[in-house]
A and B are shown apart, each in its own frame.
Chain A
Amino acid sequence: MSPRLLALWLKETIALTRDRHGLLALFIMPTIFILVMTMALRDAFTPGATIDAAYVVVDLDQSLHSKALIKRLDKGAAFRRIDSGNDVDAARQGVMSKRQAMALVLPKGFGERLLTPAGSDGQPTEPLQLLIDPTLSPALQLAFRNQIMAALGAVRADELTQRAGKLFGLPSIPGGNADKDWPDEIRSIAVRNDQSARLPSSVQQNVPAWLIFAMFFVVIPVSSIFIIERQQGTLQRLRAMGLPFHMILTGKLLPFFVVNQVQAVMMVLVGIFVVPLFGSEALEIPHSLPLLLNWWAVSAAVSLAAVSWALLIASIAQTSEQATIVGGVGNILMGAIGGIMVPKFIMPASMQKLAELSPMAWGLEGFHTVMLRHGSFADLLPSLARLLAFAAFSLLAAIWLNHRALAARS
């Protein structure tokens, strides 16, 4: 190995270990984000998880049917019913004061008109009322409406069954079927190359997501060292020593590539060992060697893209402050639109299309292909190709910018 290249690598490594802010950005920041975001988004990845949204039922009917509906609603685990008196104003006040997010008002005559389509008997319809806290997420509002509709359908079906039973002289208990527990008849199965049937979890979204984000933050130490070299005449001295510019860049690529791989190992260890200490499940990484190699291929491609991007920013910026602002804001934008901060599936369709422009999204897609779908190397190629093309473009642009700057001085 060239002693010159070795000297360059060693210098970058020592300089990085002395850059406390850079180390904080590279190792502590992603650890904190992984822990916080894994906790925050845990329920977003768990179908049927308990949602911290309470409701009350104001039963003005007090019939067997209204009580059966309440029993049916109680069986849905997602929303939490709290007891209250049957006073509509008190329920409205409770929503205003955020004691509960919703109040369902069952009008008088609800039971009598259970099987009478609205207005079909010439009587005006009095619908069920749902009082809602306007700040409650529309998705939760819709989910609760669907839960009411399902419970209402079940109560109607019970009533029809009772009436049909009467025709055949069977004994009937109005509302009696409400106690029956039906098994969960829908089972979600993740589609993967093997037959393992676990769903992606919050930790599997957040560990690769924040790992990618942290890898791109090499922009801070790379640019701070590069700008010191440029401003203090060190680059000039190195060039006068006969070091070609491409060797100087190569001398920066490898140490930061290694740093990125150390980040990858550390964040995986955080996912496996630290995240469970905070009540979430542990990160599941592929066990087979080919999948592990695929995982590393994605990690390597993300790293090349991140370091090349950092070199481009370092070449554009004139001061460390500029590099911090341009690089930091650039990373945050790439993370925001790339599904790092907010999972892509939460975004509207237009934003999901925009996410396709972010290199961080390409990296995350690659990690998901390996970790969630257990995809083959061929499945990874689109992500890898985009990341490597981005790396090549950034690196060539950095070289071109530096040559242009030299030519301007020449």
Chain B
Amino acid sequence: MLRISDISYRYRDATIPALQAVSLEIPAGGVYGLLGPNGAGKTTLISLLAGLLTAADGQISLNGQTLAETRAANPRAIALVPQDYAFYPMLGVSENLRFFGGALGLTGAKLKTQIESAIAFARLEQVVGKRAEQLSGGLRRRLNLAIGLLGQPQLLLLDEPTVGVDPQSRHFLLDSIAALPAAGTTVIYTSHYMEEVEAICQKIAIIDQGLVLAEGTLEDILHSPEPLLELRLEQPLPEDLGTRYQAVAESPLKYCLKLPSTAALPRLLDELAAAGCTIRDLNLGQHNLEQVFMRLTNRSLRD
């Protein structure tokens, strides 16, 4: 179990903190999705978990040990797969794997075995002799992932690992990542692709502006006790109703409203009629992750 307790982090000279008292419990042996718009604090959280940053407040523990204790006991316990192709383009596939294995302190038969299993996992057998700069985008992503698996980490941090790949490679990567927990690896997965997170993550956290906005299983998040109502009107939604029902405009004249309960629906319909609004379409209940995400993080454009 990875336990993150009241972690706050503020970058030097920043006016607002990147993380504000974030607490998460991530069960061992699953894929945990971390969602948030750009600047939400995902990378800061990943950097803290990878040991690239140190939090001034709060605690992080993995299976009861602090991250420093975990790394001291097993320097290969936590691995980071950055969003960039973090390897050497002028080196071959096997040369890259040998180098990063060596950088992890692996030697001899152990290094050889780990390289072979990483190559097999990422299906890189056909390109082992090629230089990394000659690989396609999908193969580069697979090499990036393979390097992350060399140390058989307990915790694997994947930062948008499918950016810029074709659908075939994406499906292969997603299937591969989904299979990792079976080998005892806990995966933290950040992505902007909601369908990916829905497909492979057992638990999800949505964060924005350094705060956890929602956390739980996909089921928990999609079936909120406060149901969402999707409305398409012929006139703009009156401002007072929008404020009261925390409306988010999904497109012109299309709104997503938060109801206190399904019993509140008749009253809302009366209020709309009284305000002279004509309803063209109405959808209550089941929503997808993207709608929840957009609702929680608002629609304003991010950097």
Which chain A residues have a beta carbon within 8 Å of chain B's beta carbons?
3-4, 6-8, 10-11, 14-15, 18-19, 225, 228-229, 231-234, 236-243, 407-410
Report whether A7 and B11 are in contact in the complex, using a CB–CB cutoff of 8 Å. Answer: no
A408 and B12 form a contact (CB under 8 A): yes
Query: How far apart sit A231 and B107, CA to CA, in the bound complex (Å)?
Result: 28
A-B contact pairs, 23 of them (CB 8 A): A3-B102, A4-B102, A7-B102, A8-B102, A11-B95, A15-B91, A18-B91, A19-B90, A228-B88, A232-B85, A232-B87, A232-B89, A233-B84, A234-B86, A236-B80, A237-B80, A239-B52, A240-B50, A240-B52, A241-B103, A242-B71, A242-B75, A409-B11
B181 within 8 A of A: no
In the complex, the answer to whether B86 meets A3 with C-beta atoms within 8 Å is no
Q: Is B105 part of the contact surface with A, judged by Cβ < 8 Å?
A: yes
User: Is A242 a contact partner of B51 (Cβ separation < 8 A)?
Assistant: yes
B52 touches A15 (CB 8 A): no
Q: Cα distance A243–B103 when bound, in Å? A: 7
Give chain B nearest CB distance to A303 CB in angstroms: 23
- When distances are taken between beta carbons in the complex, the residues of chain B under 8 Å from A241 are 75-76, 79, 100, 103-104, 151
Known A8-B102, A240-B52; 9 more pairs at CB < 8 Å: A3-B107, A7-B100, A10-B102, A18-B90, A228-B88, A232-B85, A237-B80, A241-B104, A243-B103
B163 within 8 Å of A by Cβ? no
- Collect the chain B residues with CB atoms within 8 Å of residue A18's CB: 90-91, 131
- The one of B11, B79, B88, B95 that contacts A240, using a Cβ cutoff of 8 Å: B79
Tell me, in angstroms, the Cα distance from A18 to B80 when the chains sit together.
27
A239 to B50, CA, bound (A): 9
The reply to whether A14 and B91 form a contact with Cβ atoms under 8 Å apart is: yes
Chain A residues with CB below 8 A from B50, complex form: 236, 240
Cα distance A3–B104 in the bound complex, in angstroms: 9
Closest Cβ–Cβ distance, residue A2 to chain B (whole Å)? 8
A229 to B50: give the CA distance in the assembly, Å: 18
Closest to A409 in B: B11
Distance in Å: Cβ of A82 to nearest Cβ of chain B: 60
A236 — which chain B residues lie within 8 A by C-beta? Answer: 50, 52, 80, 82, 86
Answer whether residue B265 sits at the interface, using C-beta atoms and an 8 A cutoff. Answer: no
What separation, in Å, do the CA atoms of A396 and B151 have in the docked complex?
32
Does any Cβ of A come within 8 Å of B83's Cβ?
yes
| A22 → chain B closest CB, angstroms | 11
Q: How far is the CB of A126 from chain B (nearest CB, A)?
A: 76
How near does chain A come to B137, taking the closest CB pair, in angstroms? 14
B85 / chain A contacts, CB cutoff of 8 Å: 232-233
Residue ranges of B at the interface with A (Cβ–Cβ < 8 Å): 11-12, 50-54, 71, 75-76, 78-80, 82-91, 95, 98-107, 131, 147, 151
From the candidates B51, B53, B86, name the one contacting A232 in the complex (CB within 8 A): B86
Nearest 4 pairs between A and B by C-beta?
A7-B102, A233-B84, A233-B82, A233-B86
A15 to B87: give the CA distance in the assembly, Å.
Answer: 12
Which single residue of chain A is at the shortest CB-CB distance from B150? A241
Q: Which residues of A contact B51 (CB under 8 A)?
A: 239-240, 242
Are A410 and B12 touching (Cβ within 8 A)? yes
In the complex, chain B residues whose CB is within 8 Å of the CB of A19: 90
Please report whether the interface of chain B is mostly helix, strand, loop or mixed according to DSSP: loop
Neighbouring A residues of B11 by C-beta, 8 Å = 409-410
Q: Which residues of A contact B103 (CB under 8 A)?
A: 4, 7-8, 238, 241, 243
Hey, which chain B residues are within 8 Å of A10, CB to CB?
99, 102
| B9 to chain A: closest residue by CB | A410
A6 nearest in chain B by CB position = B102
Chain B positions within 8 Å of A407 at CB level: 12
Q: How far is the CA of A407 from the CA of B102 in the complex (A)?
A: 28
Chain B residues in 8 Å Cβ range of A6: 102
B101 to chain A, nearest CB (A): 8
Contact assessment for A3 and B52 in the assembled complex, using a CB-CB cutoff below 8 Å: no
CA of A243 to CA of B215, assembled, Å: 34
Q: Which residue of A lies closest to B71 (CB)?
A: A242
* B10 nearest CB neighbor, chain A only: A410
Task: Say how far A395's CB is from chain B's closest CB, in angstroms.
Answer: 21
Partner of B83, one of A225, A229, A233: A233
Pair A3/B12 contact, Cβ less than 8 Å: no
Contacts of B131 in A (CB 8 A): 18
How far is B133's CA from A19's CA once the two chains are assembled, in angstroms? 13
Does the CB pair B90–A232 fall under 8 Å?
no
Chain B residue with the shortest CB-CB distance to A410: B53
- Would you call A14 and B102 a contact (CB within 8 A)? no
Q: Which residues of A contact B98 (CB under 8 A)?
A: 7
Most chain A beta-carbon contacts within 10 A, residue among B75, B103, B106: B103
Return the contact of A11 from the options B52, B78, B91 (Cβ within 8 A): B91
Q: Give bound CA distance, A3 to B98, whole Å.
A: 11
| Shortest Cβ distance from residue A275 to the other chain B in the assembled complex, whole angstroms | 34
Known: A7-B98, A240-B80, A241-B100. A15 touches B86 (CB 8 A): no
Contacts of A11 in B (CB 8 A): 88, 91, 95, 99
Q: How far is the CB of B192 from chain A (nearest CB, A)?
A: 18
Contact A3 B106 (CB under 8 A): yes
Q: CA A229 – CA B87 in complex, angstroms?
A: 8
Which residues of A lie under 8 Å from residue B105 when comparing CB positions?
3-4
Q: Which chain A positions have C-beta within 8 A of B89?
A: 228, 232
CA distance A237 to B100 in the complex (A): 9
- Minimum C-beta distance from A11 to chain B (A): 4
Residues of B within 8 A of A238 (CB): 103
Distance in Å: Cβ of A73 to nearest Cβ of chain B: 64
Q: How far is the CA of A3 from the CA of B71 in the complex (A)?
A: 18
**Interchain CA distance A243-B100 in the complex, whole Å:** 11
- Assess the A234–B88 pair: CB atoms within 8 A: yes
- Distance in Å: Cβ of B99 to nearest Cβ of chain A: 4
